[in-house]
Amino acid sequence: MVKQTIQIFARVKPTVRKQQQGIYSIDEDEKLTPSLEIIVPHDLADGFVNNKRESYKFKFQRIFDQGANQETIFENIAKPVAESVLAGYNGTIFAYGQTGSGKTFTITGGAERYSDRGIIPRTLSYIFEQLQKDSSTIYTTRISYLEIYNECGYDLLDPRHEASSLEDLPKVTVFEDPDQNIHLKNLSLHQAATEEEALNLLFLGDTNRMIAETPMNQASTRSHCIFSIHLSSKEPGSATVRHAKLHLVDLAGSERVAKTGVGGQLLTEAKYINLSLHYLEQVIIALSEKHRSHIPYRNSMMTSVLRDSLGGNCMTTMIATLSLEKRNIDESISTCRFAQRVALIKNEAVLNEEIDPRLMIIRLQKEIQELKDELAIVTGEQRTEALTDAELLELEKLITSFLEDQDPESRLEVGTDMRKIHHCFHYLKKLLNDKKIHGKSTVSSEIKDQDCQEPLKEEEYKKLRDLLQQRDNEINILVNMLKKEKKKAQDALHSSGMDRSECGHSQSSPFHLGTEGLRTLPSSAPTQVQDVNTFGYRSSLLHRKTVMREEMSLGRQEAFEIFKRDHADSVTIEDNKQILKQRFSEAKALGESINETRSKIGRLKEEITQRHMQQVALGISENVAMPSMPDLLEEKLRSQLEEEKIRYKMMFTRLKALKVEIEHLQLLMDKAKVKLQKEFEAWWAEEATSLQVNSPAVNSLNHMKPFPQTPESQRERSQLLCNQSDVNARKILPSPCPIPHSREPSSTSASLEDSIPEKPASSIPLTGDSQTDSDILAFIKARQSILQKKR
């Protein structure tokens, strides 16, 4: 048993340049506990007499300033907890702080760079690395991902997330057994044999999380998430099994509604988040008091799930994330006070071991066999499971003699063997039943037999008749099906024959025409022949175009390319692509080098074996003993073999690391693509709305009387169009970027006339068809061209 208080750490988020930074200092004396001091100077607006506190000092196990990276956080906070989980103890790491203070970045990590991986992916990598090193123990790893949104639990790994709405998904409920152990219904456990499978489950869960934009954070998580790793270990031949679980908790950030000014759904989410954090604080306060008898774990779902982590069988660590900007000083001080209360809680972590039930059954069976052997030694008889034929025959003779004996005081002595006693009772019961059956009169039995046989015959006849009728019906159905199939085949052959006859008639008809028909032959006959020959190809092509139009029209595809080019994350995606290409090429080169080294090792082994065989053959042919001195050539080959093995091992380790990095980069790119697709859909809907609003003005310009085609009139017209759509053009572009100038200045008016849609926007139905997408794309291009020319 390990008794310790909850370990608390503090991490300061880097401040934004635009925001004013608060005053704080970090004291990291080696002899004393590190402390964080926050200074709040007096405001002159409060008056000269101001007794407010200016300095706040808090102690932590360690404080990480703004320059701390993710690797440092993992090595000092998460790695010791992961080691204790591998040893068989429960562990929990949770991040607490206001919204936008960096909790999700610390726990999960960023999605742009490989070095921004958070505690969860680094912990998974470390655990699977240690499992591969320890080959003497059998490990089983399972993953679960729970989301608590508006005080309701959902399984983030449920495959129905994408196809169903949140209200239709099954809710995770909490059950408590008589031993006060918590069980979660509708929460799935997925087994992960490798690091790749575990990271795929993490990526799936992060994709299904509830995220929204708030005034404090552009991508604020609106729910509490608990990523759990369940680890079971067992040594071969041992009767004990170790179970451990690691909870990695990303709490939603608290926020002051009066300060953020949110409303609607965001306000409802903020109320539930603040309420659950309030219940968490109540549990922390109750645990910190010594003589408190009741702990309100059942007030919220989060405190019920984290019951063992708070004052139970667990080694818990808390990370207080602080945003020490001047506007967030009050929330940061509140977070530090919460951490000081958490540090007062003591946990008692116990090694989770239990006896394997299968091995216990084997042990009990062995003990039963040993007791049987001891009993056989004491009685002098080797008992088996059943009585022998000789023993059964002897028992039947004893029973027969006992029944024939007229002495009322006679006894049946069979000994103390319960098997013989049970057999005697069964035999007596059998004799009694046989006597009752044979005691009945023969006449009555014959009458009953005759009466029973007639209804039996009628029932059998009825069953056979029904069965025959059923078989007839089945045969008729099969015959009708065969006739229909035969008719379909004949119709198909008839239609194909008609097509061939029409084709032959179209080819031979020009020879029966007159002179006038011969003159029109070169333009009409080849066309008819070509139409007949390409009918199948056109139908298949039309089907393909219809499918592509259902997925995404050409106009929307071109708009997506423009949006992707101008998107803010395009540089990051391209950088990740280049890094991924480099890693692929490096892995390919390493694979070729590994293959070469492997073949070289094989050749060296063959040379050493051949050298050894040559020496043995030479000694046998010349009758000379093997020399005691080592062969220099063989020693040289062995040294080369060892060098190649070391080189092979180094390259294989590097290739393994490259594989992990490539998989993570692919996950990042997939995540970026999903984000880009969602933002494009929102932007496309906004552009469609803007087209409906702004098209009447453009349509009025289109119906005006055309200007004379002179240079002066062209300039005036382009200037008028620029003034009309300049404001709206700025709203449409997601991120304006320089557009290359046209090579032909004389085509300005023509391009403008083509870019403006001819029909009113009010008559365009926003149904997602190709015509609407083309109109929207033309409208976007017109605005881009007008804005560029104005510049």
731 in a known ligand binding site? no
Most distant pair of Cα atoms in the chain: their distance: 145
Tell me which amino acid residue 475 is: I
Distance of CA 759 to the CA centre of its chain: 47
- Is 98 labeled as ligand-binding? yes
99 is in an annotated binding site: yes
> Distance of CA 243 to CAs 126, 174, 181, 353, Å?
18, 21, 14, 7
H or E segment to which residue 62 belongs? strand 62-64
Taking the alpha carbons at both ends of the chain, their separation in whole angstroms is 74
Spatial distance between the Cα atoms of 684 and 556, rounded to a whole number of angstroms: 8
Q: At what angle do helices 770-790 and 748-755 cross, to 10 degrees?
A: 140
Annotated binding residue at 102?
A: yes
Q: Say if residue 103 carries a ligand binding annotation.
A: yes
Q: How far apart are CA 193 and CA 205, in angstroms?
A: 18
Write the DSSP assignment of 652-678 as a string of letters. Answer: HHHHHHHHHHHHHHHHHHHHHHHHHHH
Q: Does residue 709 have a known ligand-binding role?
A: no
User: DSSP readout, 147-177?
Assistant: EEETTEEEETT-GGGTTS-GGGSPPBEEEE-
Q: Considering only CA atoms, give the Rg of the chain.
A: 43
- Token pair recorded at residue 497: 């024959």
Q: Residue 590 contacts by C-beta under 8 Å, 6 or more apart in sequence?
A: 651, 654, 655, 658
Distance CA 86, CA 700 (A): 74
Give the closest residue to 304 by CA, choosing from 170, 166, 153: 153
Give which of 580, 567, 502 is closest to 535, Cα–Cα: 502
Number of continuous H segments (helices) and E segments (strands) in the chain: 21, 19
Side-chain-side CA neighbours of 582 within 13 Å: the count stands at: 8
As a residue count, the chain comes to 791
The two tokens of residue 738 are: 């320089």
SS3 labels along 725-751: HHHHHHHHCCCCCCCCCCCCHHHHHHH
Binding residues: 97-104
Binding residues for ATP: 97-104
